[in-house]
A and B are shown apart, each in its own frame.
Chain A
Amino acid sequence: MRRPAWLPARVTPDPDVPVDGDTVNALMARLDAAAQTRLGRSLALRHIDAGSCGGCEREMRALSGPLYQLERFGLRFVESPRHADVLVVTGPMTRNMRLALEQAWDATPDPKWVVALGDCAVDGGVFKGSYAVLGGTGNAVPIDLTIAGCPPSPARILAGLRALLEANAP
């Protein structure tokens, strides 16, 4: 039978990643409490590409897909650093992007957090030692959380962002 266009794609749950209903519900309850206590609102994320190959971005975009639905956790991507609570930085921190990242960081209102997403953003990854990279987000702005992986899977990114929320809950 032909599937109507409005039905979501059939997705097979990954046995290794616990995304069953109970876990998701428990996660949502914990997230809700943590975010509400700390901020009383959702967390706004601003992505900044500091020389990424595009792999981390690809996995980050999957977060807004039907399986992860980032927004139901109160996390969402915003257009401007001025609207952001969290800067999510990818790439090995190229020297050509340092100024732009510093300006974005200055423009982000306090309290703010910086997440270094992917092996490159953590310490430069394979590009460490090149004349054109600083080797990690931490060499340009202070970082609060690292999410390793090349690229990290969407489930891992989600877990990392959750950890950030919980760590900052009083």
Chain B
Amino acid sequence: MTPPTIATILAASQAEPCRPWPRHRLPHTAWRALIDALRHEPHRLLALWADTIEVHALLLHDPGLGVVAVSTAIEVGAYPALSAVRPAAEPFERMIRDLWGHHAADAPDERPWLDHGQWPVTLPLSPRPGSAPIEPDPPSFPTAEGDHATRLPIGPVAGLITDAAHLRLTLSGTAIRSAEAHLGYAHKGTLALMRGKSPRAAARFIARLSGDATVAHSLAFARASEAALETEAPPRAQALRLLLAEWERMSVHLGHFADLGALAGAAGLHRIAEGARENLARAAEAAFGHRLLMDVVVPGGVSHDIAPDGQVVLRAALTAFVETLPPLAAALEHPPLASRLSGLAPVPLALANRLGAGGVVGRGSGRAFDARALDEAHGGIEWEAETQRQGDETARNLVRLREIAASIGIIDRLSGFLPDGPVAVTLPAGSGEGIGCAEGPHGDIWHWLRLDHGHIAAAFPRDPAWALWPLAEHVMAGAAVEDVALIRCSLGLTVSGMDL
């Protein structure tokens, strides 16, 4: 008998109404069959999270853009681990253990992830949070393997202006033999803060989940809320949202080029990119009232309309910006920098696929997935995902440059034809479950939430960093130790969105 495929497992299961993709509830036997099926089937793991009684997984089948949401109940405090077949599940399983206390049976790694022993409570999201342990646990790492190995701990206070993360490198000479990241320093308890609030009130936390993707996170969250309540944002709001998302993408890509220039000592690149980003930020403030566009996208629409002269301001900024694109591209091809970036942080396609890494990293390695492909509102606009095959920083920069050019085109067309009408609808105080996604500057962002009479009963945001940090550990192994800061920048590693 052939083992059951994912399709047959789902067909035999009970589907919960979750929009736009139903959530299939699997008993443990079916969940184990799913784990077996995942050995042969190519579905990527997007996210793994929990509530008080179940764990949920979100899977994506790349070619057909099929999104699969599955759940299994917690039995005797445990559920079968996914990390044996999907290594990307490992940090999720450690996070679930720290926040809800659910135990991943047969998981290879059970060390704490977010809980560093500093909180006044343990298992903060479980129905009965415990009191804190008396002795804080320092993060533990496996001991260095082999002789002549040096351990190099970096962070959480390291680098000039970077996020709080701890990296533990094992070196032989100056080559990195293995790298392990430990995060959680930026854990702010966002999920606990969101619980019991209305989507509109919780949007303030979502906008501050990751500063580099504040529009994209707000957008995915708004889409999930609207899907759960079976409402739609008005056409004008939808057009403005797309415009805002593309504006953010351009700004963050420019910010990347500026950081890269600063780190690699390419002053010309730094100057051009930082200057252009500053102009975009000022135009954003003039048109929407916030330089980084925080709190503009909200569940139900957008918080306020574009300023009366906003379209003129945006167009003027774009016209000036287009002029800086050729020197920007030239600065990236400037020989000392170009040879530094060529071959930097190579990501093989198989690795990107295995860990489900999307965004610029995935597309630079040939994984074409872009969450905008799932977005029906983009239907009216010609747009194509940019992919490269080499997988190094040069390939990723090419993707970034072309995405900037594509964003300019999209914004140009949108700002000329903004539909008239209201910019927001009031969300009903209903109940329901929804999933929303958006393509952020660093990759695909997914939000799930369950509403109970207008209040959030449970929610989970999936930041691209969940795939990128495990990927970075692989990429750093074999690299030179002086490249660590450049690799962090190259892969767009941020911590706040993943630290929750």
Contact = CB atoms under 8 A, between A and B. Distances in A.
Contacts of B121: 131
11 contacts: A10-B324, A49-B186, A53-B210, A61-B258, A65-B271, A66-B275, A95-B119, A104-B157, A127-B190, A129-B193, A131-B119
A132 B185 contact: no
A81 B320 contact: no
A54 interface: yes
A130 B272 contact: no
Interface of A: 2-12, 14, 47-62, 64-67, 77-79, 81, 91-92, 94-101, 103-104, 120, 125-127, 129-133, 150-151, 153-154
Contact of A4 (B214, B317, B327): B327
| 6 A-B pairs closest in CB distance | A9-B275, A65-B274, A55-B211, A54-B211, A130-B189, A132-B189
A129 B185 CA distance: 17
Given A9-B279, A61-B255, A62-B281, A151 B185 contact: no
Give the one of A14, A95, A103, A151 with max B CB within 10 A: A95
A9 B185 contact: no
A119 to B, nearest CB: 10
B158 to A, nearest CB: 8
B164 A58 contact: no
Contacts of B259: 61
B282 A52 contact: no
B195 to A, nearest CB: 11
A42 to B, nearest CB: 16
Nearest to B217: A53
Give the one of B189, B273, B281 with max A CB within 10 A: B189
A58 B255 contact: yes
Label chain B's interface by main secondary structure. helix
B134 interface: no
Contacts of A6: 268
Contact of A55 (B116, B193, B274, B294): B294
Nearest to B129: A131
Contacts of A129: 193
B1 interface: no
Interface stretch (B36-44, B88-96, B201-209, B394-402): B201-209
Size bin of chain B's contact surface: 35 or more
Given A100-B156, A104-B157, A51 B211 contact: no
B275 A67 contact: yes
Given A53-B210, A79-B160, A126-B204, A62 B326 contact: no
B119 A126 contact: no
Interface string B315-334: 00100100110110011001
B277 interface: yes
A55 B210 CA distance: 8
A99 B120 CA distance: 15
Contact of B156 (A61, A97, A132): A97
A101 B161 CA distance: 15
B119 A8 contact: no
B318 to A, nearest CB: 12
B496 interface: yes
Given A10-B324, A130-B189, 7 more contacts: A5-B330, A52-B163, A61-B161, A65-B271, A100-B164, A127-B190, A150-B294
Contacts of B186: 49, 51-53, 91, 94, 96-97
B118 interface: yes
A131 B195 CA distance: 13
B162 interface: yes
B118 A96 contact: yes
Given A11-B275, A14-B282, A97-B156, A57 B163 contact: yes
Given A14-B282, A52-B186, A96-B187, A131 B275 contact: no
A97 B156 CA distance: 8
B208 A97 contact: no
Contacts of B124: 131-132
A88 to B, nearest CB: 9
Contact of B161 (A53, A57, A66, A98): A57
Nearest to A56: B211
B167 interface: no
B69 to A, nearest CB: 27
Contacts of A79: 159-160
A75 B291 CA distance: 24
B278 A11 contact: yes
B120 A53 contact: no
B268 A53 contact: no
B331 A5 contact: yes
Given A7-B327, A48-B157, A62 B277 contact: yes
B274 A62 contact: yes
B292 interface: yes
Contacts of B156: 49, 97, 100
B192 A50 contact: no
Given A54-B210, A77-B161, A12 B282 contact: yes
B269 to A, nearest CB: 9
B300 interface: no
B334 A51 contact: no
A144 to B, nearest CB: 19
Give the one of B119, B270, B294, B326 with max A CB within 10 A: B119
A66 B271 CA distance: 6
Nearest to B115: A96
Contacts of A4: 327
A65 B285 CA distance: 18
B116 A96 contact: yes
Nearest to A48: B157
A99 B210 CA distance: 23
A12 B279 contact: yes
B212 interface: yes
Interface string B249-263: 000000100110010
A64 B211 contact: no
A3 B329 CA distance: 12
